[in-house]
């Protein structure tokens, strides 16, 4: 497609439930990023892929968070045993390469109840 697509658009999870968030980047974009945006805050970096390689995962807040991009295109962010503090909008972005500026998807709003 023409843009970055994220699904689902909204997700409500019970505390302790596992969730998986999907990102379809722009075709041919080698760089893919995940960000977490809490209400009223700026996006916080989670992790970065170049093709299928995860080059930076320094922003993942705990070992409950896991991201993959096995074929260098679609990426999945998985959160295990969700907690209330995980409630946020999760944004995915892709880029042709470093420092070009990103194209963002519309995000997945996760609410943990």
Partner 1 sequence: AQSVTQLGSHVSVSEGALVLLRCNYSSSVPPYLFWYVQYPNQGLQLLLKYTTGATLVKGINGFEAEFKKSETSFHLTKPSAHMSDAAEYFCAVSEINSSASKIIFGSGTRLSIRP
Dist. CA 48–CA 52, nearest whole Å: 10
33 lies in the binding site for partner 1 (CB under 8 A): yes
1 lies in the binding site for partner 1 (CB under 8 A): no
Which of 7, 17, 20, 50 is the binder for partner 1 (CB under 8 A)? Answer: 50
Question: 105, 2 in Cβ contact below 8 A?
Answer: no
Please tell me whether residue 36 adopts helix, strand or coil conformation.
strand
DSSP designation for 40: T
48 lies in the binding site for partner 1 (CB under 8 A): yes
Residue closer to partner 1, measured from CB, 18 or 56: 56
4 lies in the binding site for partner 1 (CB under 8 A): yes
């Amino acid at each position: 497609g023409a843009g970055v697509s994220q699904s689902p658009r909204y997700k409500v999870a019970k505390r302790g439930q596992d969730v998986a968030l999907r990102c379809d980047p722009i075709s041919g974009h080698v760089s893919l990023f995940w960000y977490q945006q809490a209400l009223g805050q700026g996006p916080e970096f989670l992790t970065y892929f170049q093709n299928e390689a995860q080059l930076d995962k320094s922003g993942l807040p705990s070992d409950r968070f896991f991201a993959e991009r096995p074929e260098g295109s679609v990426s999945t962010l998985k959160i295990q045993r969700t907690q209330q503090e995980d409630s946020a909008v999760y944004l995915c972005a892709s880029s042709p390469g470093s420092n070009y500026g990103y194209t963002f998807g519309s995000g997945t709003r996760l609410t943990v109840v």
